[in-house]
Structure 1
Amino acid sequence: MAGLALAVAAGAAAGQASARWLSAAALLLLAALALGWPRRTAAPPPPEPLAPAPPPDALARLQIQLEHLPAASWVLSGAGRLQPLSQRARRLLAPGAVQDAAALQALLIERARAGQAGQLQLDTERGSERWSLALQPLQLAGEAQVLLVLLPLESALESERLLAWQQLVQVLTHEIMNSLTPIASLSQGALELLDDPAAGDELRLALDTIAQRAAGLQRFVADYRRLSQLPPPQLEPVDLGALLARLQAAVAPSWAARGGAAHFDLAHPGLRLQADPAQLEQALLNLIRNAEIATQDTPQPQLWIEARLSRGGRLRLTVRDNGPGVPPGLEQQIFLPFFSATPGGHGIGLTLTRQLVHGMGGRLRHARPLEGGAAFVLSF
């Protein structure tokens, strides 16, 4: 009997260790997903038999790893008890972090029970901050649990915002100085030529150059106004078949005249999208114009426009060409206002297109096809 009791006690201890191991392992996986590690999109494999409980030293190492996760992590038990699992979680609830620790715990419990992951706005001693909450429900030893991971977003967003302002100021300064410097120099020269009766031609040339630079600066300001004063989209159902037919009628003849072709493919007949018809058509025309410029030196320029449903039921519109593609290293800069990899380009086409797509609830990204060229993907 004593041996049986010892065996039962040992089995219970092993079961508890296994439960702690599984909970910790699941938390590490959740934290990895929240930190941006690659997600698996394929169907999950069939469950495998549970491995035996890890040795005590492995549990100790795992506990240390959990303590030092760069995220605030908790486990919510079936009884509603929220237990911190990392130093970041304990520091967040300690004095000097969030202003109301009890309110944060209540909010986390509410979100976990409702399954509502996503962004949170927390009032901290440093001010209002944005955090991202990830959740993972579990069933361990017959008890329902929820793992929670909270990641700070404010520092990353602030850095991106500051970088965007720096890039915008750099572009504005460059464009304005390119026009103002020759205007100032030529104006001074024109004043000196006024006292020379024989300098009529030089004076006329100086004034003409000043007028051209002033006109260029005026166009720049008008382009900037276009980017900053886009009208709000008027959303309605858009028949993509009819939209692609209009685009094909408008642009296919010019591609054929250049010795190439424009291909339009509606993978699923009857596709409709809730969008602003005029703004969606303008966005696609901007990308087609971009493809025309990219393929101007290509012997047989080709354009492909495709509309299809991707996994998850999301709509994808792809505009692809067989030009030289975006130079390596410029994939992100091409979306900056007034940045152009093409000599003489204004650099507002892709920026304007991304704003139009974003205003309709979509995303625009650049892709590098295996076949070469460039592709721009609109996802809704």
Structure 2
Amino acid sequence: MGFNNFRINYITRTILLTATIFGFSFLWYNTNLTMTLILVGLLIVFQIVAMIFYVDRTNRVLNNFLESIRYSDFTRTFQVESLDSSFDKLKKSFNEVIQDFQAVRAEKEENYFYLQTVIQHIGIALIAFQKDGQVELINNATKKLFQVRTLHNIQGLREFSPEIVQKLLTIKHGENILVRVRQKDDLLQLAIYATEFRIHNRAIMLVSIKNIQQELDEKEMESWQKLIRVLTHEIMNSITPISSLSSTIQELMHNIINSFEALNIGKEETESLKEVEQAIQTIHKRTDGLLHFVNTYRNLTRIPTPNFTIFKVSRLLNNIRELHEKEIHEKGITCRVIVEPESLELSADEHLIEQVLINLLKNAIHALEGRENPQIDIMAFLNQSGRITIQVIDNGKGILPDVLDKIFIPFFTTKPQGSGIGLSLSRQIMRLHGGSINAYSKPGVETRFSLTF
């Protein structure tokens, strides 16, 4: 509407100016009215100046309006004095257009902040980067996973893991890969999925990264528990009758031998019966041993639900050391308990965690046999993620790399008299606490077991 009024106003001014010029020409050629000619001439000059001012003022308003659109500056407004003027109606139209742009911009900003909030809230690490590795977006889960405050280029993750950098820079659209990263205090199984898209002729790779180590451990433990349940059930069903029958036969044979000896029946027959009795005793002894063996492994499926309480970590660790003080002293081991801060408290089942630490300390003592200057450190602190971590560290013979990946598997042991249940039981206890247990070893230098809550 404002533009239509401007056009009408401009046409009207042009017609009036043309009519005035025509009147000036008529007076010039047909009359001698000098004063009238001067007045008409001044009127022409006034109309020309007024038109120039009118058009120039309109151009300035148009220029300001277009600059507001170009630079997205929608804070500017045009003052409207009276809607009777076509020029003011033009300003009103511009103001309405700017208000519409403001509404659209506000809606886009709301959507942007909404998406930003969603991205930052997601628990899966997200990274958007260009082909050269320049990072355009990361969320809080990424910072937490890689322990970084900012990330400008994928190369910045090289210190965390060179393999991660290589995989991210070479991953293709729609590809799923699994990367294993072993750190001193933790083991990560990272599932990486990539999607590629284009923005303003730029190729952007959006990558999601999730640590699935806990899920893998839980599935592995569930599988072992199912297997152990089946095996123990079948073995118990088979061995229990044998143990009962062998015990009964053993009593019968003992009574028969006593009867033979009382009646002074043939010596050879009595000796033969005693050999049979010894054989039955051996069978009974072995069946009892197998029953004890099976019952030991059934403990993996019978861990009680943790009874969570809040207790001082320093008290727990000092109790563990005092419990083994005699053995540690006899073997000349230096044992230190370090808790930082001293007031550190843990919410867990104290008895179950104590069982885990006793097992780890016994393993450490065993690993120090025959070592010079044996030493064990039991430490507790807050790790880089702010999570409570307890470590048992020794300078024993260590664990070989090919063995390190198997130590938490049920039935696996490197000890001649070991059952292979201690570390498996410890892992399951930590899983019930929502935590993890991991091992790091440099043979001959250091072995470190870390409990992370």
- TM-score normalised by the shorter chain: which range applies? 0.5 to 0.7
Q: TM-score normalized by structure 2? A: 0.47
Counterpart-to-counterpart distance in 1, 2:304 and 2:314: 25
Give the CA RMSD over aligned residues.
Answer: 4.9
Amino acid across the alignment from 1:210: I
**1:292-331 CA distances to partner (integer Å, 9 max, x unpaired)?**
2223343553221111111121111111222212233111
Partner residue of 2:348?
275
Counterpart-to-counterpart distance in 2, 1:338 and 1:276: 25
Partner residue of 2:376?
303
Q: Are 1:223 and 2:296 matched, yes or no?
A: yes
Q: SS at 2:397's partner residue?
A: coil
**1:200-242 CA distances to partner (integer Å, 9 max, x unpaired)?**
4432332222122112111122112211011100112121111
Task: Return closer, same or farther for 1:135/1:314 CA change in 2, 3 Å cut-off.
Answer: farther
Counterpart-to-counterpart distance in 2, 1:258 and 1:310: 32
Partner residue of 1:360?
433
C-alpha contact (below 8 Å) 1:256/1:262 kept by paired residues = no
Q: 2:391 aligns with which of 318, 321, 331?
A: 318
Partner residue of 2:361?
288
Question: CA offset at residue 379 of structure 1?
Answer: 0.7
Amino acid across the alignment from 1:41: Q
Q: Are 1:379 and 2:452 matched, yes or no?
A: yes
Q: 2:421 aligns with which of 348, 361, 373?
A: 348
Q: Are 1:44 and 2:150 matched, yes or no?
A: yes
Q: SS at 2:428's partner residue?
A: helix
Q: Between Structure 1 and Structure 2, how many residues are aligned?
A: 263
Partner residue of 1:69?
175
C-alpha contact (below 8 Å) 1:238/1:274 kept by paired residues = yes
Structure 2 residue runs of 5 or longer lacking an equivalent are: 1-127, 154-169, 178-190, 257-267
Q: SS at 1:320's partner residue?
A: strand
Partner residue of 2:276?
203
Higher-helix-fraction structure: 2
Query: What fraction of aligned residue pairs are identical, expressed as a percent?
Result: 29
Amino acid across the alignment from 1:331: L
Q: SS at 2:407's partner residue?
A: helix
Q: SS at 1:305's partner residue?
A: strand
Higher gyration radius (CA): 2
Task: Return closer, same or farther for 1:208/1:361 CA change in 2, 3 Å cut-off.
Answer: same
Q: TM-score normalized by structure 1? A: 0.55
C-alpha contact (below 8 Å) 2:392/2:450 kept by paired residues = yes
Q: SS at 1:207's partner residue?
A: helix
Question: CA offset at residue 248 of structure 1?
Answer: 2.2
Q: Are 1:329 and 2:435 matched, yes or no?
A: no
